[in-house]
Amino acid sequence: MEKKCDASLVELKNALKREIDDEVSTVSRYKEIGAKLSITYGRDQMGETLKRMADDEYEHFLQIMSIVEILEEECSKVFPGK
């Protein structure tokens, strides 16, 4: 029996998991800065730009998360060896 994923694919999946953490941090940071620009400094347009950037980063998070979930599912399957 052999798994569908080799060590290098598992390593890539783990790297993507680390990217998820980065995306989440970036979303939070952009939201915080955007709110500060709008509320504290009255720079509503700049704040809105940061909010849209946070939304984009959240989409990246969701896409990466989907890829990781698919890889985890595929890598957990065991197939008969040749």
Kindly report, residue by residue over 46-71, the tens digit of the pLDDT: 999 999 999 999 999 999 999 999 99
* pLDDT score for 24: 93
Beta bridge partners, 79, equal 2
DSSP-based three-state secondary structure for 3: strand
Residue with structure tokens 């989440």? 24
**pTM of this prediction?**
0.80
| CA dihedral sign, ordered 53, 56, 62, 18 | negative
Every domain of the chain and the residues it spans: 2-75
Rounded Cα gap, residues 52 and 49, in angstroms: 5
Residues 19-31: b if buried by 16+ CB within 10 A, e if exposed: bbeebeebbeebb
